[in-house]
């Protein structure tokens, strides 16, 4: 109250009284809104679940894959490839200077593209036989020389080829490949046994 006996002017605040303050109004979603929200969340989960699963599988593949042998990808000339190579179980690959080869129970990743078979499926991962070999110059991909072995047609009734890649150093080269599916973790590594 003021000194004049008149009531005081309101201060802009609601009057305080003994009555309870009502709760704020609740927002209510209509039934159809809840249905649409549920369908939207369900649809999003249906789309995201396969993507998350694929991402997990790729992560597992990368973290569980067996690394290639030590050393860097290596470019080798035909003369550097010529000679005898041996795997850790005594399998032997002989690359001759005339472009022919012979194998005795040597490991490798072998395929018959016409028949749709390969090592780890219908072809063995160790083979003996003869045929022709060739190599690229290592100028594509990671720069490593790839050696192709084409077995004499008719080996086990199939046209079989094998593929190896050069790695390591000139003093200690290896030819290698995964055997079958790279996820299987099986490597074939051949070391040169007749170095100059």
State residue 167's pLDDT score.
93
Q: 44 and 128 share a domain?
A: no
pTM above 0.85, yes or no: no
For 87-135, the pLDDT digits (tens) are 998 999 999 999 999 999 999 888 876 666 655 556 677 888 899 999 9
Q: 50 and 107 share a domain?
A: no
Domain boundary among 43, 64, 85: 64
For 24-83, the pLDDT digits (tens) are 777 676 777 677 777 888 788 788 878 877 777 666 555 555 667 778 899 999 999 999
53-66: string of b/e by CB count within 10 Å (b at 16+)? eeeeeeeeeeeeee
Residue 79 belongs to some domain of the structure: yes
Query: Within 10 Å of residue 127's Cβ, how many Cβ atoms?
Result: 22
Residue 24 belongs to some domain of the structure: no
Query: Domain limits at 49?
Result: 29-64
> What does the DSSP assignment read for 50-119?
HHHHHHHHHHHHHHHSPPPPSSEE----HHHH-EEEE-TTS-EEEE-TTSEEEEEEEE--EEETTTTEEB
* For residue 4, pLDDT beyond 60: no
Residue 5 belongs to some domain of the structure: no
Q: 152 and 133 share a domain?
A: yes
State residue 196's pLDDT score.
52
Query: Within 10 Å of residue 3's Cβ, how many Cβ atoms?
Result: 5
Distance CA 93, CA 106 (A): 6
Distance CA 112, CA 26 (A): 71
State residue 8's pLDDT score.
54
Q: 187 and 98 share a domain?
A: yes
Distance CA 105, CA 181 (A): 20
Q: 131 and 98 share a domain?
A: yes
The full 3-state SS of 149-164, as one line of letters, equals EEECCCECCECCEEEE
Q: 117 and 47 share a domain?
A: no
State residue 58's pLDDT score.
65
Q: 52 and 117 share a domain?
A: no
Residue 157 belongs to some domain of the structure: yes
Residue 110 belongs to some domain of the structure: yes
Contacts of 182 (CB under 8 A, 6+ apart): 65, 66
Residue 10 belongs to some domain of the structure: no
How many Å separate Cα 95 from the centre of its chain? 31
How many Å separate Cα 131 from the centre of its chain? 32
How many domains does the chain divide into?
A: 2
Residue 34 belongs to some domain of the structure: yes
Give mean pLDDT, residues 172-188.
Answer: 84
């Amino acid at each position: 109250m003021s000194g004049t006996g008149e009531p005081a002017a309101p201060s802009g605040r609601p009057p305080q009284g003994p009555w309870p303050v009502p709760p704020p109004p609740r927002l209510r979603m209509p039934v159809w809104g809840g249905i649409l929200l549920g369908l939207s969340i369900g649809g999003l989960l249906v789309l995201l679940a396969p993507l998350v699963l694929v991402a997990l599988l790729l992560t597992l593949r990368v973290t569980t894959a067996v690394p290639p042998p030590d050393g860097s990808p290596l470019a080798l000339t035909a003369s550097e490839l010529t000679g005898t190579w041996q795997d850790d179980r005594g399998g032997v690959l002989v690359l001759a200077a005339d472009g022919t080869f012979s194998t005795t129970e040597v490991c490798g990743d072998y395929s018959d593209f016409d028949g749709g078979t390969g090592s780890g499926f219908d072809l063995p991962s160790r083979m003996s036989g003869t045929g022709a070999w060739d190599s690229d110059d290592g100028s594509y991909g990671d720069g490593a020389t790839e050696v192709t072995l084409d077995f004499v047609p008719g080996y086990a009734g199939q046209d079989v080829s094998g593929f190896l890649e050069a790695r390591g150093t000139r003093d200690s080269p290896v030819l290698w490949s995964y055997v079958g599916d790279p996820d299987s973790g099986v490597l074939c590594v051949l070391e040169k046994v007749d170095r100059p």
